[in-house]
Amino acid sequence: MAPIRRREPTSRPWIAAIEALASSETDTSLLTDLVKKIPGEFREDEGKNARELVCWRILESLSLLQKGNSSTTLSKPDSSARFSLSDCCEDVLRKVQCRLPRANQKSTESVMSGRDVEAFVRDKRSCLPKSGLEKLKDVISKESDLIPFSVKEMSGLLKNNRSDGNATRPQRSASDTFENPLVGDLSSENATRPQRSASDAFENPPVGDLSSGKTVMSDSATANQGGSSAPNQLLVYKEYSNIASLNRKQDAFCAQKVVECKDSDSFNERRNVDHVPGTVVQHSGREESDLPREPRVENLREITTSDNVDYDRVASKKLKMSSTVGDAELLHNQLQDACNIEKITQGTSGKEHGLNIRADESIKDCEGFVELETRGGSARFVNQGTKSVDGSRENSEHGFSLTPNSVRCGEVKDTMEHDHQAEFLSDDENDEILIRNNTFLNSQYSHSQDSLATLNGTKKLCMVCKIGGQLLVCSSVSCQRMVHEKCMGVAPTFDAARSFYCPFCAYSQAISEYSESKKKLPLARKALVTFINRDEYRVRNSSNISHRADQNYLKESKLCNECVEQNRPENVGRREIENSSRKYMRDMPSVSHDSSSRERARDVTCGANEEDQYVASQAVQDSVLQNSKSKDKKIAHKQHVGTEKEQDVSNQPPVLPCEPAKTTHSNLAKSSGKKKKSVTHLSLRVRKGEQQYTYPSLPQLKRKKIPWSNAEEEALKEGVRKFASNHDRLMPWKTILEFGGDIFVNRTTIDLKDKWRNICKASPKV
DNA sequence: ATAGGGTTAACC
DNA sequence: GGTTAACCCTAT
């Protein structure tokens, strides 16, 4: 098994682009410039197709060149230079390179037949490998359900299926190629580049912004000035030397592929080219270093000497496996290395075993690609497919852009957005949302179980990073998600039994509870009304204030007990799950404030019968928890005043509904004989400032009407007289409120203001 | 914090 | 249905 070195993933898109450009008959100068620009290092097997395609393009260019200058170069037949289709383009190009006339050579010294090259290029065209992108396009275009429809749709290839599905490049006629080599069937993909003739292309090779290519341009221009074909050949040779730089980056590929060169002096001669006075080609030092040194090769497949070869690396690659086996195993390695997926079945040799790889859904589309291509028997395509797998993985890691996961993540977001809206929707709509949520989760389960479960059959992998290790396993029965704690992004949540629930399940659970709670809400509301009426009946029929206070105290104590009950560990544990879900959702902007709805859902999670008080107590508790400290202080003060003054109830919770005090106050009002009837109207009106926590599902409860007592009115008038300013129209209601603090019971500055308005309305002279 | 308009429910 | 008192909402 060939050792896999960690390489920079940034080289992959370069290779893919070069392949595609080489397939689309881009100018060779541009190709060679791109080759030189490939960043980082990569495996020797990577870029194999790219090299082949680029070399073929150069050979094609060379043959065109020779065709146009047939009278001067490569005209002498040489049986030794005939090429076989089994030769790779790179080898042939090296041979051609070795036989190119030097600047100080006469053309008659050439031993290369241009016809050989032309024939080779023509014949080779039919068996050139497709570029990775073309293959991917073919797979997408095929009616294969291995590629998700969404991916197909995104590819834009559903309607324009131009691919024949063959593993080799589309055939073109020789005349087409040689008459107009730069305008091929894929020229439209390179529409921005002007179409040029072959001679133009190679006498004035276009060089873009790629810095290193500028030299080529200058060389070309200089060569063109000479008007000789030899400089043109040197140009081609030089371009090939650029290709060699690709080889160097690929760790001794040169050593593996260097061809035999019988002309032992050719190297020195070539080197001398640069130093020949008056030579038309000027090479920079860098380019000189780029020149492939004299290949002293004894065996095409064995390591040979080369000045540019990294011997250490070459040594590790002396024996290259057969391409089939090697690539098949390479595929396996890459899949394990990059995707951490497990191979379910694998034979020991390449074509026959037909790798059956089950990947996670994030790479499932590419999995099919890999499988297809492997079975297709093209070992090279395995690499392409493997790269696609890597690429897919990158996609999945960097935004879920193209993988099926992205679609599902979109569904997640969509679902959650809808769930966020759930509180404003009808039950039917909520049911629909729940169905959608369940459907989504089921799909998640099915995918997960189909992939992850299978994958995890022998190895447990994190659902995020696809790496094993210490994983948290979701405790839900139907969920097999596992994740590293560090991959969670948020703190993991556990229930009372320290069972972990993944965010999906926690959220699903919260949604379910919310739905259940909503169904119980009407019953709870009805029970609440019944309870209040019953309590009011008792109040009305009681003549003993202290007894009522005891009743209130008992009632409040009961609520407090429920408070305590809520804080019991098991209940806290349950809430932790929900909190985790909320936290998780808060991290997702689209559902950020859905947490409050779920919290409210939790708050109304209560039974219909015995939990009528629960709703009220929750309102109280939340009011307590959510109120600002100042508010609490103020209200608590009022409560304290009221209870101390009128009820002598000392053990009340600091803040509770104003019913006790109001009831007492109502009785005081009743005792004053002013508004006796008002005591029977106990509509629940909760002031905004006193209960910031609202319940959308509950009707806006109105604060109980509290008629003003004579004492209150007098205190108000006194306060106005004392603090009203003739100059300032603003009335210091706060000061007045504090002034009559002992008299005003459960009044706010707004109440004072409103009451004063009513007083003024009734008797403006006041 | 305050003012002012609006709303609601009880009462006539 | 009109009136009224208490409460609510919003602008400043």
A375: Cβ under 7 Å from strand B?
no
Find the Å distance, CA of residue A686 to C1' of nucleotide C5.
Answer: 17
Sequence letter at residue A757: R
Which residues, listed in sequence order, are joined to residue A494 by a DSSP beta bridge? Answer: A500
Tokens found for residue A660: 């006790």
Minimal CA–CA distance to A113: which of A68, A179, A49, A66?
A66
Strand C nucleotides in reach of protein CB atoms, 7 A cut-off? 4-10
Identify whether the C-beta of residue A38 lies closer than 8 Å to the C-beta of residue A16: no
Sequence letter at residue A677: K
CA atoms within 13 A on the CB side of A373: 35
Find the Å distance, CA of residue A692 to C1' of nucleotide C6.
Answer: 20
Residue A418: helix, strand or coil by DSSP? helix
Long-range contacts of A76-82 (CB under 8 A, 24+ apart): A76/A108, A76/A110, A76/A111, A76/A112, A76/A113, A77/A113, A77/A115, A77/A116, A78/A111, A78/A112, A78/A113, A78/A116, A80/A111, A81/A111, A81/A112, A81/A113, A81/A116, A82/A113, A82/A116
DSSP string, A560-585: HHHHHHHTSHHHHHHHHHHHHHHHHH
Which nt sits closest to A694, CA to C1'? Answer: C8
A735: Cβ under 7 Å from strand B?
yes
Identify whether the C-beta of residue A426 lies closer than 8 Å to the C-beta of residue A418: no
Residue A75: helix, strand or coil by DSSP? strand
DSSP string, A728-757: --S--HHHHHHHTTTT--S--HHHHHHHHH
A749: Cβ under 7 Å from strand B?
yes
pLDDT means over runs of 10, chain A (766 residues): 42 75 73 72 67 78 63 42 72 71 43 66 78 70 59 57 39 35 33 34 35 33 36 42 42 34 36 35 34 32 33 32 33 36 32 33 33 32 32 34 32 37 43 49 44 47 83 81 81 78 75 65 64 52 37 38 39 38 34 33 35 40 38 36 34 34 35 35 39 37 78 89 80 88 84 90 72
Find the Å distance, CA of residue A232 to C1' of nucleotide C2.
Answer: 105
Q: CA angle, A134 as apex, A11 and A373 as ends, to 5°?
A: 90
A251: left (phi over 0), alpha (psi -120 to 50) or beta: left
Q: Which residue is nearest to nucleotide B8 (CA to C1')?
A: A702
Which nt sits closest to A730, CA to C1'? Answer: B2
pLDDT at residue number A531? 63
Find the Å distance, CA of residue A353 to C1' of nucleotide B8.
Answer: 80
Compute the residue count for chain A. 766
A646: Cβ under 7 Å from strand B?
no
Which nt sits closest to A754, CA to C1'? Answer: C6
> Which residues, 6 or more positions from A570, have their beta carbon under 8 angstroms from its beta carbon?
A496
A753: Cβ under 7 Å from strand B?
yes
Tokens found for residue A732: 């210091």
Strand B nucleotides in reach of protein CB atoms, 7 A cut-off? 1-6, 8-11
Q: Which residue is nearest to nucleotide B7 (CA to C1')?
A: A702
pLDDT at residue number A627? 38
Q: Which residue is nearest to nucleotide B3 (CA to C1')?
A: A730
Tell me whether strands A493-494 and A500-501 are parallel, antiparallel or unpaired.
antiparallel
Identify whether the C-beta of residue A646 lies closer than 8 Å to the C-beta of residue A671: no
Percent of chain A scored above 70 by pLDDT?
Answer: 24
Find the Å distance, CA of residue A741 to C1' of nucleotide C1.
Answer: 39
Find the Å distance, CA of residue A567 to C1' of nucleotide C2.
Answer: 52
Find the Å distance, CA of residue A89 to C1' of nucleotide B3.
Answer: 89
Identify whether the C-beta of residue A269 lies closer than 8 Å to the C-beta of residue A104: yes
A678: Cβ under 7 Å from strand B?
yes
Residue A136: helix, strand or coil by DSSP? helix
Find the Å distance, CA of residue A713 to C1' of nucleotide C7.
Answer: 17
Which nt sits closest to A678, CA to C1'? Answer: B10
Tokens found for residue A387: 């790269």
In whole angstroms, give the CA distance from residue A515 to residue A430.
7
Which nt sits closest to A713, CA to C1'? Answer: C5
Find the Å distance, CA of residue A525 to C1' of nucleotide C9.
Answer: 25
Find the Å distance, CA of residue A624 to C1' of nucleotide C4.
Answer: 33
In whole angstroms, give the CA distance from residue A31 to residue A56.
11
Q: Indicate the helix (H) or strand (E) that contains A31.
A: helix A28-37
Find the Å distance, CA of residue A284 to C1' of nucleotide B9.
Answer: 96
A705: Cβ under 7 Å from strand B?
yes
Q: In this structure, what are the phi and psi dihedrals at residue A175, rounded to the nearest 5 degrees?
A: -65, -40
Find the Å distance, CA of residue A595 to C1' of nucleotide C11.
Answer: 30
Which nt sits closest to A674, CA to C1'? Answer: C5
> Which residues, 6 or more positions from A716, have their beta carbon under 8 angstroms from its beta carbon?
A708, A736, A740, A744, A752, A755, A756, A759
Per 3-state DSSP, what percentage of chain A is helix, strand, and coil (rounded to 5)? 60, 0, 40
In whole angstroms, give the CA distance from residue A111 to residue A145.
53
CA distances from A620 to A564, A623, A659, A750 (A): 13, 5, 11, 22
CA distances from A221 to A215, A287, A751 (A): 10, 16, 92
Which nt sits closest to A724, CA to C1'? Answer: B2
